[in-house]
Amino acid sequence: MYIILLGAPGAGKGTQAALLSEKRKLTHVATGDLFRQALEKGDELGLKAKSYMEKGKLVPDEITIQMVLNRLAAPDCKSGVLLDGFPRNLEQAKVLDKALAQQDKAIDKAVYIKVSEGELLKRLSGRWICRNCQTPYHEVTSPPKARGKCDKCGGELYQRPDDTVETVKKRLEVYFAQTAPLIEYYTGAGKLLEVSGEGSPEEIYGRIVSALKPKK
């Protein structure tokens, strides 16, 4: 099974992907995490992506697509994948469809998590993430039990450098211009499932699970 999580930065894709991948035994592939890990290791890929990420811009397709196709070829992706943060424009969506078709595979569903712009800004500005396991927290709505420490693994929490007000605005602008058209693309393909991304993570997860249930 191949599921795409679509939605603006701050819509809760990472949180929902963590819940879904655990319960459905799907491998979570998050392009933002792959870039950040490469950067942390000092890999060439991370260094190439750094300047785009800092500005809230998309990393060029030739870099991103190759990275994702390599990741999808790994053994842990054979039985199913949850894509988070990819595709982010029409070109990426078309290349992905083509690459999967060559292996007689296809995207099953694209789950669009819809959140208002005001709410997105609020969420991104208070976000903290575990450096070790990437679990997201929010200062106000979902704080960790101990300040600066991940509830799940005890890892150190940090604020992403691209979660500053200016970069967040740019990321949202890029989302509406380049990524939002994918909603139409997957609607046209009969694969889009839209769920409200407002409410608690558990409520949103429940909506996603019921949207994914096969309709009789």
Task: Tell me if 186 contacts ligand AMP by CB under 6 A.
Answer: no
Pick 12 or 32: Cβ nearer ligand AMP = 32
Start-to-end CA span in the chain (Å) = 19
Active-site residue, selected from the candidate residues 36, 71, 171, 207: 171
Smallest separation, CB 29 to ligand AMP (Å): 10
Length of the chain: 216
Active-site residue, selected from the candidate residues 36, 71, 123, 127: 127
| 8 vs 85: CA distance, rounded Å | 9
| 108 vs 189: CA distance, rounded Å | 10
| Cβ contact 3:26 at 8 Å | yes
Applying the rule CB under 6 A, the residues between 99 and 138 that interact with ligand AMP are: none
Of the candidates 85, 76, 66, the one whose C-alpha atom is nearest the C-alpha of residue 4 is: 85
Pick 85 or 150: Cβ nearer ligand AMP = 85
Q: Does residue 131 have an active-site annotation?
A: no
Smallest separation, CB 166 to ligand AMP (Å): 13
Pick 21 or 92: Cβ nearer ligand AMP = 92
Pick 58 or 120: Cβ nearer ligand AMP = 58
Applying the rule CB under 6 A, the residues between 161 and 180 that interact with ligand AMP are: 162, 171
- Identify residue 111 by its one-letter amino acid code: V
Contacts of 161 by beta carbon, 8 Å cutoff, 6+ apart: 54, 167
Task: Tell me if 82 contacts ligand AMP by CB under 6 A.
Answer: no
Using alpha carbons, list the distances in angstroms from residue 157 to 59, 119, 153, 178, 212: 25, 22, 11, 30, 32
Task: Tell me if 28 contacts ligand AMP by CB under 6 A.
Answer: no
Name the one range near ligand AMP by CB under 6 A: 70-78, 80-88, 126-134, 136-144.
Answer: 80-88
Among 27, 52, 105, 183, binds ligand AMP (CB under 6 A): 52
| Residue 101 C-alpha from the chain's centroid | 22
Contacts 24+ apart (CB under 8 A), 37-40: none
Active-site residue, selected from the candidate residues 71, 88, 123, 207: 88
| Cβ contact 30:108 at 8 Å | no
Pick 33 or 194: Cβ nearer ligand AMP = 33
| 195 vs 208: CA distance, rounded Å | 7
Residues labelled catalytic: 13, 88, 127, 160, 171
What residue ranges bind ligand AMP (CB under 6 A)? Answer: 9, 31-32, 35, 52-53, 56-59, 64, 85-86, 88, 92, 162, 171
